Structure 1
Amino acid sequence: MELLLLGTGAADGWPNPFCTCASCDDAVRRGEIRGQTAALIDDDVLMLDCGPEAPRAALRHGRNLARVRHILLTHAHADHLGPQALLFRSWVAAGFTVDVVGPAAAVDACRDWVGPDDPVRFVPVAAGDVLTVGDYRVGVLGARHKVFEDGDAVLYDVTGPDGARILWACDTGPLPDAWFDDVADAAFDAVFLEETFGDRSDLSAGHHTLAAFADTVAALRACGAVVDATDVVAVHLGHHNPPIAQVRRRLSGCGARVGNDGEVVRVGASGCEYGTGQRTLILGGVRSGKSRYAEELLDAYPTVTYVATGGTREGDAEWAERVALHRDRRPESWSTVETSDVAQVLRSATEPLLVDCLGTWLTARLDLHEVWTGGDLAAVEQDVEELLTAWANCAVPVVAVSNEVGSGVVPASASGRLFRDQLGRLNARVAEISDSVSIVVAGIPMRLR
Structure 2
Amino acid sequence: MELLMLGTGAADGWPNPFCECTSCTAALASGTVRGHTAALLDNRILLDCGPEVPRAASRSGRTLAGVEHILLTHSHPDHLGPMALLFRSWADRTEPLQVLGPPDALDLCRDWVGPHDPVTFTPLVAGQSVTLGTYDVRALEATHEVPTLLYDITDQAGARIFWATDTGPLAPSTIAQLENASFDALFLEETFGFKTDHGTGHHDLPSFARTVATLREVGAVTDRTDIVAVHLGHHNPLAHELSAALEQCGARTVLDGTVLRIGSRAPGRTLVTGGARAGKSTYAEALLSGYRHVTYIATGDPHDDDPDWTERVASHRARRPATWATLETVDVIEILSGSTDPILLDCLGTWLTAQMNRHDAWLDGNTAAVREDIDQLLAAWKSCPVPIIAVTNEVGSGVVPETKSGRLFRDLLGLLNARIADASESVVLMTAGLPTRLR
What is the TM-score of this pair, normalised by structure 1?
Answer: 0.75
Partner of 1:349: 339
Please give the per-residue CA displacement for 1:214-262, whole angstroms capped at 9, x wherever unaligned.
2222333444433455443322222211223333333333343334441
Whichever residue aligns with residue 306 of structure 1, its letter is: Y
| Contact 2:224/2:292, CA 8 A, preserved across alignment | no
Structure 1 portions without partners, runs of 5+: 272-276
- TM-superposed deviation, 1:296: 5.8
Distance 1:291 1:181, change over 3 A: closer
Q: 1:358-437 alignment to 2 at 5 Å?
A: 358-360=348-350, 373=365, 389=382, 395-396=386-387, 398-403=388-393, 410-411=399-400, 415=407, 418=411, 433=426
**SS at 2:206 equivalent:** helix
Distance 1:432 1:33 in 2: 29
Distance 1:317 1:142, change over 3 A: closer
Q: Which moved more, 1:119-128 or 1:175-184?
A: 175-184
Partner of 1:274: none
Distance 1:27 1:297 in 2: 21
Distance 2:125 2:431 in 1: 46
Partner of 2:183: 188
**SS at 1:40 equivalent:** strand
- TM-superposed deviation, 1:103: 1.8
| Contact 1:169/1:192, CA 8 A, preserved across alignment | yes
| Contact 2:2/2:259, CA 8 A, preserved across alignment | no
Q: 1:59-70 alignment to 2 at 5 Å?
A: 59=58, 61=60, 63-70=62-69
In terms of Rg, which structure is larger?
2
Distance 1:352 1:186, change over 3 A: closer
Match of 1:157 among 131, 152, 155: 152
Whichever residue aligns with residue 142 of structure 2, its letter is: A
Partner of 1:306: 296
Whichever residue aligns with residue 344 of structure 2, its letter is: L
- TM-superposed deviation, 1:428: 7.5
**SS at 2:76 equivalent:** coil
Q: Which moved more, 1:294-303 or 1:244-253?
A: 294-303
| Contact 1:405/1:424, CA 8 A, preserved across alignment | no
Distance 2:310 2:324 in 1: 19
- TM-superposed deviation, 1:198: 0.6
- TM-superposed deviation, 1:341: 7.0
Structure 2 portions without partners, runs of 5+: none
| Contact 2:75/2:105, CA 8 A, preserved across alignment | yes
Please give the per-residue CA displacement for 1:349-407, whole angstroms capped at 9, x wherever unaligned.
322333323454566788889699596799899689758746xx7634x554444667x
**SS at 1:178 equivalent:** helix
| Contact 1:245/1:296, CA 8 A, preserved across alignment | no
- TM-superposed deviation, 1:104: 2.4
- TM-superposed deviation, 1:72: 0.8
Distance 1:365 1:126 in 2: 62
Q: Which moved more, 1:320-329 or 1:67-76?
A: 320-329
Partner of 1:251: 246
Distance 1:68 1:54 in 2: 13
| Contact 1:359/1:423, CA 8 A, preserved across alignment | no
Partner of 2:118: 119
Partner of 1:12: 12
Matched, 1:175 2:180: no
| Contact 2:8/2:35, CA 8 A, preserved across alignment | yes
Whichever residue aligns with residue 312 of structure 1, its letter is: D
Whichever residue aligns with residue 352 of structure 1, its letter is: P
**SS at 1:232 equivalent:** strand
Distance 2:423 2:81 in 1: 36
Distance 1:257 1:72 in 2: 24
Distance 1:217 1:308, change over 3 A: closer
Please give the per-residue CA displacement for 1:76-115, whole angstroms capped at 9, x wherever unaligned.
3333233343344345565631211112233233334433
Distance 1:174 1:95 in 2: 41
What is the TM-score of this pair, normalised by structure 2?
Answer: 0.77
Partner of 1:336: 326
Distance 1:385 1:117, change over 3 A: farther
Distance 2:123 2:139 in 1: 11
Whichever residue aligns with residue 426 of structure 2, its letter is: I
Distance 1:375 1:289, change over 3 A: closer
Calculate the aligned-residue CA RMSD, in Å: 4.2
**SS at 1:208 equivalent:** coil
Please give the per-residue CA displacement for 1:408-444, whole angstroms capped at 9, x wherever unaligned.
755466938757976886798689725xx58462xxx
Distance 1:252 1:239, change over 3 A: same
- TM-superposed deviation, 1:172: 0.9
- TM-superposed deviation, 1:46: 2.1
Distance 1:344 1:27, change over 3 A: farther
Distance 1:197 1:278, change over 3 A: farther
Q: Which moved more, 1:373-382 or 1:333-342?
A: 373-382
Match of 2:281 among 271, 277, 291: 291
Please give the per-residue CA displacement for 1:6-30, whole angstroms capped at 9, x wherever unaligned.
3322233334455443334544566
| Contact 2:225/2:291, CA 8 A, preserved across alignment | no
Please give the per-residue CA displacement for 1:31-65, whole angstroms capped at 9, x wherever unaligned.
65434322233x32222122344344445555443
Distance 1:410 1:312, change over 3 A: same
Distance 1:207 1:316, change over 3 A: same
Question: What is the count of residue pairs matched by the alignment?
Answer: 428
| Contact 2:158/2:263, CA 8 A, preserved across alignment | no
| Contact 1:281/1:430, CA 8 A, preserved across alignment | no
